[in-house]
Amino acid sequence: MSIHADHPFATPRDRRDAARRFRGRLVQPVTLWASGAGPGRVGLTVSSVLIGLGEPPVVVGLVDPDSDFALGLTDTLTVAILTPADRLLAEAFAGVAPAPGGPFRLAAFTDTDWGPVPAASGSWLGARVLDRRDLGWSTEVVATIEHVELRDAAPLAHVRGGYLTP
């Protein structure tokens, strides 16, 4: 057996993993994207988020194309900035923590014209979907921001597989 300077069985997927590890070193917001109403509600924790300023402003997110959110997305959505108190909610909507009965049962939600929002949410926006397209191994969702609510609350951030708080 010999020792190699690089992985002897490297595949193209390893390049994706390196890019994923690079992305993991960027501090990213933890947001909850949600859409629908009643039993048709869907949601997903999303950290790949951009806000494009302009008239009108837009929100852009990269979501898992196989997620319940991507498959059940309606023409409107909400984006809530999660706080340190929302860690369990973030993990449940990401599919990495148990949520008996579904993640919407873990907290109170308020129905809005754009979709459900955690009732305790500090800051959130309501948006109308403009476009969806495949981008890499994700689905890019672009939506026009129609409503914004802001409250002072420390945001939950994610870096290198863990959470940070300011």
pLDDT tens for each residue of 24-34: 888 889 999 99
Choose between 24 and 155: higher pLDDT.
155
pLDDT the model gives residue 78: 98
Choose between 154 and 36: higher pLDDT.
36
Residue 46 has pLDDT above 80, yes or no: yes
pLDDT the model gives residue 153: 87
pLDDT the model gives residue 69: 97
Phi, psi of 146 (to 5 degrees): -110, -20
* Predicted TM-score (pTM) of this structure: 0.87
Q: Which residues touch 59 (CB under 8 Å, ≥6 apart)? A: 49, 50, 51, 52, 79, 125, 127, 142, 143, 145
Residues 36-54 have a mean pLDDT of: 96
Residues 6-29 have a mean pLDDT of: 70
pLDDT tens string 84-129 = 999 999 999 999 999 999 999 999 999 999 999 999 988 999 999 9
Residues 144-160 have a mean pLDDT of: 93
Q: Which residues touch 164 (CB under 8 Å, ≥6 apart)? A: 27, 156, 157, 158
Residue 75 has pLDDT above 80, yes or no: yes
